[in-house]
């Protein structure tokens, strides 16, 4: 299992967390999504994770995503 970590801007509430979680869970290979509202980060766990698709899912939820960050 691998992990991808992203800095995400624009999150401010529980609805933001739910929106991102819902969109990212639809990406193939994702087994878990952890959104840290206070740290403005999203951590994705899974197998065969596609960075481009994960970033697109976060953008689709309505947020800006930075480059992947180290674990």
Three-state DSSP at 54 gives helix
Three-state DSSP at 11 gives coil
Task: Quote the domain boundaries for residue 2.
Answer: 1-30
Report if residue 1 sits inside a domain: yes
Instruction: Quick: pLDDT tens for 23-50.
Output: 999 999 999 999 999 999 999 999 999 9
User: Ramachandran region of residue 49, left (φ > 0), alpha (ψ -120 to 50) or beta?
Assistant: beta
Report if residue 14 sits inside a domain: yes
pLDDT at position 71 is 60
Task: For tokens 């691998």, name the residue.
Answer: 2
Query: Which of 45-49, 57-61, 64-68 bottoms out in mean pLDDT, i.e. has the lowest?
Result: 64-68
The total number of structural domains that make up the chain:
1
Report if residue 3 sits inside a domain: yes
Report if residue 66 sits inside a domain: no
pLDDT at position 6 is 96
Report if residue 11 sits inside a domain: yes
Give the closest residue to 15 by CA, choosing from 70, 64, 63, 69. Answer: 63
pLDDT at position 51 over 70: yes
Report if residue 22 sits inside a domain: yes
Report if residue 35 sits inside a domain: no
Phi, psi of 23 (to 5 degrees): -65, -45
């Amino acid at each position: 299992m691998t992990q991808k970590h992203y800095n995400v801007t624009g999150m401010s509430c529980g609805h933001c967390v739910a929106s991102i979680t819902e969109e990212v869970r639809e990406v193939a290979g994702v087994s878990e999504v952890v959104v840290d509202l206070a740290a403005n980060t999203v951590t994705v766990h899974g197998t065969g994770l596609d960075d481009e698709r994960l970033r697109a899912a976060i953008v689709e939820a309505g947020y800006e995503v930075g480059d992947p960050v180290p674990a």
